[in-house]
Amino acid sequence: MAESAETLAQRLENGAEKTVSFFEALTPDQWGVSIYTDGACWTVQQVLAHFVSSEMSIVRLIQNILAGGGGVPEDFNLNAYNERKVSELQGAPPEKLLAEFKRSRQSTISLVAGLSHEDLSRQGRHPWLGITEVGEIIKLLYLHNQIHQRDIRKLLD
């Protein structure tokens, strides 16, 4: 059985608290550490920018599916999209990115908390998961941040 909207909203809220605490604890030098060595070689600050852009994009994706849309096009290039969105936030200071993440996540939580079981079961194309249910898209949203934070922790420890 799928998780309820209330459970998913709570997981998003708990995840946001952990994410904010994690990033607030970083030293100024840690923000510039490169985390990934392939592709664009994102720094810690760019990973947070990725969280901000992902949060806003996933809300739009969910809204599209709830309105009867099919989600992202089949030929959607996730890597190119992520690179473009992160570069748009290049130079934004960490405190601005954190404030935007908090605002965006609160918007996501409000949307998710109001979803019905039927809404969570609607299907559309997610850029990573392919055709899947809205509930699974929401789960990936909080798991996605945990995965990146784990990568950062490993490099900084």
Tell me whether residue 35 is in a domain.
no
Query: Quick one: 136 exposed, middle or buried, by C-beta within 10 A (0-12, 13-18, 19+)?
Result: middle
Residue 52 resides in a domain: yes
The domain that holds 58 is classified in CATH as 1.20.120.450
Q: What does DSSP say about strands 130-133 and 123-126: parallel, antiparallel, or unpaired?
A: antiparallel
Inside any domain, residue 6? no
Radius of gyration (Cα) for the chain, nearest Å?
A: 16
Q: Answer for the pair 45, 29: CB distance below 8 angstroms, yes or no.
A: no
Q: Which two tokens stand for residue 105?
A: 């996540």
Q: For the whole prediction, is pTM greater than 0.85?
A: yes
Q: Does a structural domain hold residue 115?
A: yes
Q: What is the pLDDT of residue 1?
A: 46
Count the neighbouring beta carbons within 10 Å of the beta carbon of residue 60.
Answer: 11
Residues 35, 155: Cα–Cα separation, whole Å: 7
Q: Is residue 98 part of a domain?
A: yes
Give the tens place of pLDDT for each residue, 105-122.
Answer: 999 999 999 999 999 999
Residue 73 sits in which domain range? 42-156
With respect to residue 2, please indicate whether it lies within any of the assigned structural domains.
Answer: no
Q: Point out which residues pair with 34 in neighbouring strands.
A: 43
In degrees, to the nearest 5, what angle opens at C-alpha 42 toward C-alphas 37 and 48? 145
Q: Which of 135, 118, 1 is nearest to 58 (CA)?
A: 135
Q: What are the CA-CA distances from residue 99 to residues 41, 71, 75, 93, 95 (Å)? A: 24, 27, 33, 10, 6
pLDDT, position 114: 97
- Any domain includes 8: no
**pLDDT per residue as tens digits for the range 33-58:** 999 877 778 999 999 999 999 999 99
Is residue 1 situated within a structural domain? no
Residues in the chain where the model's pLDDT stays below 50: 1
Number of domains comprising the chain: 1
